[in-house]
Structure formats: C-alpha cells, structure tokens
Amino acid sequence: MFKYNYIFLTLIFFSVFSITQFRAQQKGTISGKITDKTTNEDLIGANVIVVGTPLGAASDIDGTYLIRNLPEGTYSIKISYVSYQSMNIENVRVVAGKETKVDISLSPISTELEEVVITAEALKNSEAGILKMQRNSLNIVDGLSSELIKKNNNSTGIDVLKSMTGVTISDGKFAVIRGIGDRYNNTMLNGANLPSTDPEKKSFSYDIFPASLIENVMTAKTFTPDKPADFSGGLVQIQTLEFPQKFFFDLNFSGGYDRENNLSKFMTYSGSKSDHLGFDAGDRQIPSAIGDLRLSNALKDSVLQFYGKTFKNNWGTSKTESPFNGSFKLSLGDKYDLEEAGLIGVVGSLSYSSSFDVRNLEKNNYDYQGTKYEYDGEIYSRTVTWGALVNLSYKFLGTNKISFKNIYNQDGEDVTSFYKGEDYYGGQYRENTGLRFVSRSLISHQLLGAHFFDLLYGVNFEWNASYSKSKRDEPDARNYSYRNSVDEPGDPLRFQLDPSIATRFYGKLDDVIYGFNTDFTVKPFESPTMPKFKFGFLLDKKEREFDARSFGFKNLPFGDFFYEDTVLMGPVDKIFVPEHFTNTFIQIQELTKPSDSYDTRQDIFGTYLMFDFDVLAELKLIGGVRMEQSKQVLQSRSITGSPVNVVKENTDYLPSLNLTYRLTENSNIRAAFTQTLARPEFRELAPYSYYDFVANELVMGDTSLERTLINNYDLRFETYPGPGELAAVSLFYKKFEKPIEQILIVASYDPIRSFTNAKEAVNYGVEFELRKSLRFIHSWVEKFSIVGNLSFIKSEIKLTDDASTSTFQASKRPLQGQADFILNTGIYYDDYDNDLSASLVYNKVGDRIAKVGYAGLGDVIEKAREVVDLSVSKKLFDMLSVKLLVRDMFAQDYRFIQKTPLGEKVAERYKTASQYSVSLTYQF
C-alpha cells in the first residue's frame, strides 16, 4: 500500500515540475495582500486601481490581488474597501518581466476620514507581517514568518521551532512547549490535524518539513473554540506555501561528524537489502512455512523442530566503521498565472537523511531493598528518514480556492545493543545482546477548499477533508544473553537457552485516520468593529489494528550434556544451526498471548460557536464554546483468552474567553480563560505488554485510564517596540483533573513501565520573552540582535486517595516532564550586504521527572544539562551558500538519577559528543 502511495506522490511531483514555461514577459505586474490593520484579517473584494490607467484588480479569497500587463515605469495605486479608509500608494516601481510586491493594511473608518497617502519605500520598511499577525491575533500566539525563517538559515521544521519562544526539542525531532511534553501539545498542518509520526506517542516529527516550504508557523498558547481542544501547552500550526512569489529551486547537501559516532567502531548485524530506505524488504518476516499458524505446545516435537529450522540463523553481529552523517533536501515551486481562468500554485520537496549514533551508557536498576543490577553497555543505531511533500492549489473566480496537499514520510531505525554487568539478585554476570529494526511510515492527503459568498456583509466557508495512514513494523527483534556465576568469575560464559531469554519478536501496527471539518465566518454588520460569528463542525475517526507474535527457544532434556555445553559456550551463530533442532537439544516455543493483539477505534464529533467584537475601541472580546463527543473502543483479550472490551464515552463542553486590551498601537494586555483536555493514547489503554530491550523495561497499558480535563488561565503583556522586535511577560496557571502519568512498577526482575491517572495537578509559571535589535546601543552593533525567553514553572500533583508514601516516595511531587525553569537565549548576527549570518544559542532545561516511581520505586529524574550551538552561514555566489554548524559544544553527559532507600543513585548515564556539520545549498 505504501509503495503505491509513494509512486503516486512521485508521479505527481515529477509530472508537475516537468512542465516547461514559455511565457513572454515583456510587461510587469503588481501583486500583494490586503489585510485589516487592527485584526490582520484578509480583506476580500477590496478594489486596487492603478491611477491614470484602466487597470486594476479586486482582492481574492486570500486577500491577495494581481494587476497584470503594466509597462515598465513608476505608478500610484489606490486601494479602497467599504467601511475602511482608502489608501493611496505612490512611487510603485514596475520592471518588465518582474513582479512588484506591495502588501497593504487598511484601517476601519473612524472620525478621521482623510485618505492615507504613503510611499512604496515606507511599506518596504514596515514591521514584519508575522509580528503584526501575532500582535493582532485573537488569542495568545507566537510565530515565525518565512522571511525570518530564511534569515535564520533554517533548513528543517526543527530549526524553525527552535527559534520560537518557549519551545524546546526532545529526541532531536519532537516539540516541548512551556516545558510540557507531547501529551499536552498538538500539531495542525494547513488547518487539519496531523497524525503522529510515532504511533507510540502523540508526537509529530517536524524534521520532515524543508523550511523553504513553510510559509509561517504559529504556536497558540491559548485555546479558541474553532480549534481542536486536545492541547494545553501549545498548538503548533504549520502553514505550507501555496502560491510562491516566483519560481524557486533549492538543493541542500549536508554532512556531519562527531568523534563518538562517525569514523569509529560500529556494531551491526545482517539485515535487509532495503534498510538504507528505512523499511524491511521481507528479509525479517516470519517464515512463510509458519505464516499465521500458531505453534501450539500440543504439536509433535518433530513438527516443532521443522518449524524451528525455518527461521534464519541471523543472531550474530559484525563490526564495521560508521561513515559520516549525511542528508539532502530538494524543494521547488512555482505559480502559473492563467489570467481570467485563475491561478495555479505548485510546491514540492524530496528529502533523505542517514545518521549514526553510538551511545556508551550506564544502566542500573533498584527496588526498595537495594540494587538489583548494574550494567554498562553500548547502543549502536542507524536512522534513515526520507519523504516527499507535494501541494497543488488552484484559485478561481477570485473568491474560491481548492488545494490538494500530500505528505509521505518513511523512517527506519536499526539498533544493536550490548549490556554487561552483575545481576545481584541472581548472582550472575550477564552479557545481553539485542537486535532490533523498526520502520515507520506516514502518508497524508488533504483536500481543502475556501469560498467567499457576498451574503449579508460577507460569508466565508472553509472545509478540509483528510486521510492519513501510519504504519509501524518491528520484524524479528532478537534478544539473548550469555551468563556465568559471580562466584566463578573464571568460568566461560554460557548461552541461556531459555524461552524467556532467547526470543524473537514480531509486531505490526496500522493506524488510519479520516477527518472532515468545516468553518463558517459570518459578518452580519457593515462595520468591521461590530460582532462577527464563526461556527462549524469536525468529524474525526481513527482506527488501529495491532498484532504481535513472539517465540522463544528452550533446551530439551536427555541430550548430550558435554556436547551441548561446548556448543552453548561458543558463538551464537554456531548454536542455531539446523542440526541442533532435535528432540534432545533446541526446540521452538511460541510465547504469543491472546492479549498480544488488539483493535481500537476513536470517534470524535465536535461543533462550536464563537464570536469576536470590539466592546470598546481599545477592548476586544473573543468568546465561545466547543462541544466534543468522543468514543474510544478497544477490543482485545486477557492473558487467559477471555474477551476484553473497553468503551469510553465523553461529552465535553469546553468554554473559551479571550480579552485583548490595546494600550497603544504597539502594546496589548491579554487575558484568557479556557478549558481543554487530553485523551489517553491507544497504546496506553491496551492490555498488551512487551519488553523494551533498549530501556530494559516491560511496557504495559491500563484499560482503566480516563481523559484529563485542564482549566487554563493566562495573562500577558506584550509590546512591539520596533520592526521585528518583541518584549512580553506572561503568567499562566493550569489545573489538571486526572492527569495521565507514566509510572514504574516494581516486578520480580525488570521494572514494568505503565500508566495511571493521578487525582489532580496544578502547573503555573511566568515567561519572559525578548526579541531585540542592538542598534540602540551603537552603530557598530546594529547588525546584532538578541532573542531569548526564560520560564519559571512550578507544578504539584496530588496522588490518588489510595496512594501513600509507602508506594510513591513523596506525598507531593512535580508533574512528570515538568522542569522548574527553561532558558533559551541566543545572539544573532545578520550582515545582509555581505550575505553573512551567525548565531550562538544557549539552552538549559531544569531537572524534570522522566518516569514516576511507584510501589517502592523512586522517581527517575533527568538532570539539567547545558547546550550551546554555533552556526555560521555565508552566501558564496549568487546561488550557492554554505552553513557551518557546531551542535552541543559542551557535550555534557545525560544523567538520570533515582531516589532509593540507599539515597540518590544513577539510574542511567550516557555520553555524547559535539557534532560538526557543513551544508551546501544551491538556490535558483
């Protein structure tokens, strides 16, 4: 299925861009966007006239206009719109074969009715449009425009998000907003929900987006009823480019190195011929002779021996040398002016990256009696990610637009892990090996429309139909162990032929999401200061199928002990040879449980009504309510085979009230009260359990989980002292009812990671934000600017009534994942005359709970570390630029500590190294 989807996207991509244009451009054009100065709302149907000529145009569904066939020269244009002050712009220069961009903001009619006259040069020096959107937004948002993205030399969506206030990145690709992780954040692309690129998490991997295709990114810190309600930290809204200003072609190559991960020893194993493309070509699948057949213990020994021989003998590892990390990204786009027939916009991208990681770590485990085991080890991983994006947009009749937007993403992770150390409970020295490959695929299609109707004083109708499918495949994960007694350290290590230790695991997960939503905006009054109303609905359906199988291998009795002992002390690839599958040596055993498969479904119906109007000239009120009906259904079986049916239904009415008081033209005070929610993920509800050999933990869901309700209170002062500048102070308070937490449960050996509802929690803090040019100090530092944000955050969770200090080790604790402070700051240098830019960025996130302790286990705390990145970019020629980047200059260790009866102990520690990379970008 995914191969066909890939072929489909590839055909669209190359067929669209194989069109050659032969357009004689003897004359020039004027284009731009017309917006309301106070709200930044697009104005549809505004008139633009070239003074002294019969030429002109009306703004379309996006507020944009286009005036064609202008001879080269200098013109004046006049803009008018009902209930708004007219504007006359002088000295607009038109060049043959070029497009002159003139964006315009009109003010609603007030006591001053004179026509506004400005020059085109003044427009070029006005403040960035994205900050104007932020200043005039209905709620509290932070944003970045495509212009600032390009100035910052961002190459992916991750680079873009790093530049945003209050946003940090975890695992190199996931967003953490206001110190709150994936559970309480959400992502929308072009107004539609995005599926997670990791079906195990509510997370989206932003690194699949080339920055050149992003028009803007806005992060909403407060909720409005026209958006889905399942967020509290932030809603990341990505708008991709639809109609490029002109043809562009960007090609980027990047190579990276660090001393730990590249040109060094790298352990791997025999995989699949397609691993470099991020998926398995069938080489790791369950043998075809077995297929769907369950290997019951009732089968004859001879039958089990036959099936055991059908598995590949691919347990061994090999040593190689890891190459440099590398990536490439290709993006291009254009617009096709069909004049009276409309406008077509096309953008697309292809990307590929391959990276190697060697992690030397210390892994320890404790319980209420003391130390269970202490391991040292290495994890060798290679990650491959590639994808495509194609957007087609058509604007017709001035007031209609239809877009077809597509994303395909594929990634694969190959992991080889080694742990060695002492098991104090078993009195053994152990050397454990794990071989694992996980591939993830995502395809998403969106069909969107926007239409304007000249009813009352304007009706906007927008709709979005979407389909997405994500797939996770984990074929043939192998684990095994060699051991000996600590009392006999000189004895050879012996392979453990035990079905719970020598195992093969196969897991497949498929998610399908269907969505449809509509929005109607109605203006019943002529004056733009009178109330406007917005209403609509959403249908969202998500289905998941999960199936897992596992097999173990055991040592049968009555064999030749001395021969078997010799074999089991040898290399693993000499153990699983076909001749050893006999009635007295090795036999396969299926370990699959009835609970290892589950089907789930989630249906959401949402509808809302909201309004906004100016209560006073300086006071705007935005309010409304959203109703969401949700139904989550899970079907599985218990370990014993009895049916497990879980149905969770909720109807929630979620109010939203946002107030904006305009102190001056450039300063606002904002206040908001909203209610949002967070639903348990499918994986958290499923009774299925599996062993995470990387974390050395058993992971198990909990069918009793309930959704979380959150009350959010926000207060913010913001001022925009100059173009591209911002200073703001924000206060926030959040109260969580039944927050969902990860917990560690004590077990006979390895701990169990599961999930539970705490009773309630609060989260509150203050944020300071600054984006300021240093030109006010002296002319010699006018090319420098500082960007920073500092957050102080506190949280406290109240445990369930039956919890006590004998289970959780503290009666009060912070919310899981919540840091006491977040500091992001950077100094930027931009010399546009010489096409040179540089940045030095510092980040520090305070201590935070990585995993919550339970039943005698203490909390696992991730300790703070400092991260410094240095970047220098230079355009070498008109179309070629180079970027040098040093990431994590301090390269401090990652440390996780755990509270135990013996005091604070290191639960996990691993080393890292500074990463050096160079990238070349060709732009046409």
CB contact burial 849-870 (16+ within 10 A = b; e otherwise)? bbbbbbbbbbbbbbbbbebbbe
Asked if 56 contacts 47 with a C-beta cutoff of 8 angstroms, the reply is yes
What is the phi/psi pair of residue 158, to 5°?
-65, -45
Residue (of 394, 387, 416) closest to 327 by Cα position: 387
> Residue 429's pLDDT is what?
94
**And the tokens for 499?**
């079905």
pLDDT, mean of residues 484-509: 91
User: Of the ranges 412-426, 551-565, 627-641, 679-693, which one carries the lowest mean pLDDT score?
Assistant: 679-693
> Residue 203's pLDDT is what?
67
> Residue 499's pLDDT is what?
94
> Residue 20's pLDDT is what?
36
pLDDT, mean of residues 402-416: 92
Q: Cα angle at 782 between 776 and 787, to 5 degrees? A: 80
User: Of the ranges 63-67, 367-371, 496-500, 557-561, which one carries the lowest mean pLDDT score?
Assistant: 367-371
Q: Which residue has the higher pLDDT, 21 or 789?
A: 789
Exposed/middle/buried for residue 194 (C-beta within 10 Å: 0-12, 13-18, 19+): buried
pLDDT over 60 (residue 563)? yes
From CA 924, how far away is CA 921, in angstroms rounded? 10
Where helices occur in 620-721 by DSSP H, the ranges are 682-685
pLDDT over 60 (residue 607)? yes
pLDDT band for position 368 (50/70/90)? confident
pLDDT over 80 (residue 644)? yes
DSSP E strand stretches across 565-642: 586-590, 597-614, 619-637
**And the tokens for 919?**
């990238």
pLDDT band for position 609 (50/70/90)? very high
Neighbour tally for 355: CB within 10 Å = 19
**And the tokens for 413?**
């992770």
pLDDT band for position 234 (50/70/90)? confident
pLDDT over 80 (residue 223)? yes
> Residue 483's pLDDT is what?
95
pLDDT band for position 122 (50/70/90)? very low
> Residue 268's pLDDT is what?
94
Q: Which residue has the higher pLDDT, 139 or 481?
A: 481
Domain 2-126 is found in CATH 3.30.70.890: no
Q: Who's near 492: CB < 8 A, 6+ residues apart? A: 484, 569
> Residue 489's pLDDT is what?
78
Q: What is the 3-state secondary structure (H, E, C) of 873-919?
A: EEECCCCEEEEEEEECCCCCCEEEEEEECCEEEEEEEECCCCEEEEE
> Residue 119's pLDDT is what?
52
Bridge partners of residue 64, in order along the sequence: 33
Task: State the sign of the Cα–Cα–Cα–Cα dihedral 155, 157, 158, 159.
Answer: positive
> Residue 22's pLDDT is what?
38
Element of type H or E holding 651: strand 643-664
> Residue 630's pLDDT is what?
96
pLDDT, mean of residues 328-355: 90
Taking the CA atoms of the chain, what radius of gyration do you get in angstroms?
30
pLDDT band for position 455 (50/70/90)? confident
Work out the percent of the chain whose per-residue pLDDT is above 90.
Answer: 43
pLDDT band for position 430 (50/70/90)? very high
> Residue 371's pLDDT is what?
83
Neighbour tally for 641: CB within 10 Å = 10
Q: What is the 3-state secondary structure (H, E, C) of 405-453?
A: EEEEEEEEEEEEEEEEEEECCCCEEEEEEEEEEEEEEEEEEEEEEEEEE
> Residue 123's pLDDT is what?
41
Asked if 658 contacts 670 with a C-beta cutoff of 8 angstroms, the reply is yes
Neighbour tally for 159: CB within 10 Å = 19
Q: Which residue has the higher pLDDT, 109 or 390?
A: 390
Which residue type does 887 have?
R
Distance from chain centroid for Cα 797: 26
pLDDT over 60 (residue 633)? yes
> Residue 111's pLDDT is what?
42
Residue (of 220, 135, 165, 222) closest to 668 by Cα position: 135
From CA 479, how far away is CA 684, in angstroms rounded? 24
pLDDT band for position 502 (50/70/90)? very high
pLDDT band for position 23 (50/70/90)? very low
pLDDT over 60 (residue 206)? yes
Q: Who's near 604: CB < 8 A, 6+ residues apart? A: 538, 539, 540, 541, 628, 629, 630, 631
User: Of the ranges 306-315, 438-447, 808-817, 872-881, which one carries the lowest mean pLDDT score?
Assistant: 808-817
From CA 235, how far away is CA 840, in angstroms rounded? 27
Q: What is the pLDDT of the chain when averaged over all its residues?
A: 84
Q: Identify the three-state secondary structure at position 461.
A: strand
> Residue 656's pLDDT is what?
96
pLDDT over 60 (residue 150)? no
From CA 459, how far away is CA 442, in angstroms rounded? 35
**And the tokens for 602?**
């989630």
Whose structure tokens read 């970047």? 871
> Residue 85's pLDDT is what?
87
CB contact burial 810-831 (16+ within 10 A = b; e otherwise)? eeebbbbbbbbbbbbebebebe
Whose structure tokens read 């980027």? 252
> Residue 706's pLDDT is what?
93
Q: Which residue has the higher pLDDT, 148 or 586?
A: 586
Which residue type does 547 have?
D
User: Of the ranges 207-216, 756-765, 817-826, which one carries the lowest mean pLDDT score?
Assistant: 207-216
Task: State the sign of the Cα–Cα–Cα–Cα dihedral 475, 291, 552, 583.
Answer: negative
pLDDT band for position 2 (50/70/90)? very low
Asked if 919 contacts 253 with a C-beta cutoff of 8 angstroms, the reply is yes
> Residue 537's pLDDT is what?
96
The backbone region for 278, taken as left when phi is positive above 0, alpha when psi lies in -120 to 50, beta otherwise, is left
pLDDT band for position 289 (50/70/90)? very high
Asked if 48 contacts 65 with a C-beta cutoff of 8 angstroms, the reply is yes
Domain 130-242 is found in CATH 2.170.130.10: yes
pLDDT in tens, 60-105: 888 899 998 899 989 999 998 888 888 999 889 999 888 898 999 8
From CA 919, how far away is CA 351, in angstroms rounded? 14
pLDDT over 60 (residue 317)? yes
Distance from chain centroid for Cα 194: 9
User: Of the ranges 239-248, 519-528, 666-675, 866-875, which one carries the lowest mean pLDDT score?
Assistant: 239-248
pLDDT band for position 153 (50/70/90)? very low
Q: Where exactly are the structural domains of the chain?
A: 2-126, 130-242
Q: Taking the CA of residue 578 as centre, how many other CA atoms within 13 Å lie in the half-sphere pointing to its CB? A: 6
pLDDT over 70 (residue 460)? yes
> Residue 112's pLDDT is what?
46
What is the phi/psi pair of residue 160, to 5°?
-65, -50
Work out the percent of the chain whose per-residue pLDDT is above 70.
Answer: 85
The listed range with the strongest mean pLDDT (15-19, 377-381, 485-489) is: 377-381
Asked if 731 contacts 768 with a C-beta cutoff of 8 angstroms, the reply is no
pLDDT, mean of residues 828-851: 87
From CA 869, how far away is CA 741, in angstroms rounded? 32
Asked if 347 contacts 213 with a C-beta cutoff of 8 angstroms, the reply is yes
From CA 173, how far away is CA 196, in angstroms rounded? 12
Bridge partners of residue 318, in order along the sequence: 268
